[in-house]
Structure 1
Amino acid sequence: MDNHSYNYPSDCAPLTKSARKPAGSTVVNMAGGGGGEGTCEPRDYLVWSLCNTLYVNFCCLGFMALIYSIKARDQKTQGNLQLAQECSDKAKWYNILAAGWNLLVPLLAVVMLVLLLVHLGTSQGSFDFFGEDGFQNFMKLFSW
């Protein structure tokens, strides 16, 4: 096929070998790494905040992280990067605290269950929880 048989508009004409020019060198700035202290925009941690808000949410830590995440996103869209970075840092720390708590509660529950089962397995006789000494025998489980 011959390119001369088609009528291209002047701004859409295909390049021929003689019309191509070698491109100059391109420099890509790779500074920063996604929300660091460099020139990049701060992160807002919105997805992490939503997960922490929906799961356990002890003392509203996940909700506070969500509020600061939304504030960080709003400030970033308004162009106030310094305030967006401050809100981003607060959201990150609230998320860390909430995630730590979210992992600690189930871990403590499993440990307590295992200790209770081990202690019950090593005790002699059965406990009458509703009898005269039921509560005292139950409390002996947790004494060392």
Structure 2
Amino acid sequence: LKIREMPKEQQEAAVLGGPPGSTSVTTTVINMPSEISKPDHVVWSLFNTLFMNFCCLGFIAYAYSVKSRDRKMVGDMTGAQAYASTAKCLNISSLVFSILVIIIFIIIYSTK
């Protein structure tokens, strides 16, 4: 088995896309998984960050949601699901604590 090296002119032509008169078409194929993707809770986390950010739990949930979306884009569905689950728990905690604080303030101000 002999490996033949290309002359320098052919190497440059291969790098530049061929001779000037030739046309080449490059196509991009994107493989989309057929399964339904899992939610990453970015919108919910953003809402909690802006409006119900109890002890920065909403912001932390947003960070985990972005990590989940990044993992999903790479194709790591297990990692994406783990980050999404953490973001969901943080969102629930932030929502519950924020609602409790609002209810406590309403009770305090209504009894005065």
TM-score by length of 1: 0.51
| Counterpart for residue 24 of structure 2 | none
Structure 2 unmatched runs, 5+ = 1-34
The answer as to 2:39 corresponding to 1:46 is: no
Q: Which amino acid aligns with 1:58?
A: F
Q: Select 2:75's aligned residue among 70, 73, 79.
A: 79
| Counterpart for residue 59 of structure 1 | 55
The answer as to 2:112 corresponding to 1:111 is: no
The answer as to 2:62 corresponding to 1:69 is: no
Measure, in 2, the Cα distance between the counterparts of 1:93 and 1:49: 11
Q: Which has the higher contact order (CA 8 A, sep 6+)?
A: 2
Aligned with 2:111: secondary structure? helix
Measure, in 2, the Cα distance between the counterparts of 1:63 and 1:111: 27
Q: Which amino acid aligns with 1:74?
A: D
TM-score by length of 2: 0.65
Identity, in percent, stands at 40
Structure 1 unmatched runs, 5+ = 1-38, 117-144
Measure, in 1, the Cα distance between the counterparts of 2:103 and 2:110: 11
- Tell me which structure has the larger Cα radius of gyration: 1
Q: Which amino acid aligns with 2:94?
A: A
The structure richer in helix per residue is 2
Give aligned pairs, total.
78
| Counterpart for residue 92 of structure 2 | 96
Q: Deviations over 1:6-38 (max 9, x none)?
A: xxxxxxxxxxxxxxxxxxxxxxxxxxxxxxxxx
RMSD: 1.2
Cα distance, 1:41 vs. partner?
A: 2.1
